[in-house]
Amino acid sequence: MDAPSDNAITPVHGIRTGIGGWTYAPWRDNFYPKGLVQRRELEYASRKLAAIEINGTYYRAQKPSTYATWRDQTPQGFVFSAKAPMRIVMSRTLAKTGAQVEDFVGGIAELGDRLGPLVWQFEHGTPRDRDDFAAFLALLPRKAGGRTLRHVLDVRDPGFVDAGYIALAREHGMATVFTDSDEHPSFADVTSGFVYARLMRSRAELATGYPRAELVRWAARARESAAGGEPDDLPRIGPASATAARRDVFVFFIGAAKERNPAAAMALHALLATTP
């Protein structure tokens, strides 16, 4: 295979589309070029997509040298988001995880300018104390390696996700995940200066995962969000916030018919690049 371009995919008006991870066997049949060795998959994917969410860090944080290798394999302008380790988010007392948070953030800071949002995913079924959760948000670092950090909260317990949760996220300037999945709380309240969406309904029978009409609608929503607005056809817990300045927007195609997600992300990017 010829060496891939060193150019990153340019976000459209601050909108990045991407996928979760980069190692998945079916992608070797419909995304990666035939014969591409596995060690070059990140190199290739990072030149076809504007962002990748690292899922493996949820199960085990990597060595700083590994993050540095990933940084060096990707072009300038490309961005990773990353899920925080489950050993932190599943702790009984979140307020006591400061040392673990510091260790994780200190290591992943080796991604340098490739480091995007950090995702803190709290699974359904683990009871959460509101005061403990607030104390945890207060201890999350705002900077690392001389760079400002952006945090994303993905609380999957419907009983915890209410107006108080939205207010708490806004107080700390942290984004909350929007998902189109009916398996998790789905709400599009804007709580920070950026928007983070996970689209989880790709279909195996469609080459681009989503029908074109749905991708067109998601492109319109992403553009509206990036311009500082809030799409009025998405569910919210509270009233829309005041119109803001432009925002960065991250749209990841995650799960469902995973084999279609790279094509979905590239199709959405193409729509954003070719429509006003």
Confidence (pTM): 0.95
CATH of the domain at 145: 3.20.20.410
User: What pLDDT sits at residue 5?
Assistant: 57
User: What pLDDT sits at residue 74?
Assistant: 97
Query: How far is the C-alpha of 267 from the C-alpha of 31, rounded, in Å?
Result: 13
Provide DSSP, 190-244: --SSEEEEEE----TTSTTSS-HHHHHHHHHHHHHHHTT---TTS--SSPPPPP-
In a domain, residue 90? The reply is yes
Range of the domain at 123: 15-274
Query: How far is the C-alpha of 105 from the C-alpha of 103, rounded, in Å?
Result: 6
User: What pLDDT sits at residue 242?
Assistant: 64
In a domain, residue 160? The reply is yes
In a domain, residue 65? The reply is yes
In a domain, residue 107? The reply is yes
In a domain, residue 166? The reply is yes
User: What pLDDT sits at residue 90?
Assistant: 95
In a domain, residue 153? The reply is yes
User: What pLDDT sits at residue 128?
Assistant: 85
User: Total structural domains in the chain?
Assistant: 1
Q: Average pLDDT of each block of 10 consecutive residues along the chain (276 residues)?
A: 65 96 96 96 98 96 96 97 97 96 97 98 88 97 95 96 96 97 95 97 98 98 95 92 84 96 98 88
In a domain, residue 9? The reply is no
Query: How far is the C-alpha of 253 from the C-alpha of 152, rounded, in Å?
Result: 16
In a domain, residue 225? The reply is yes
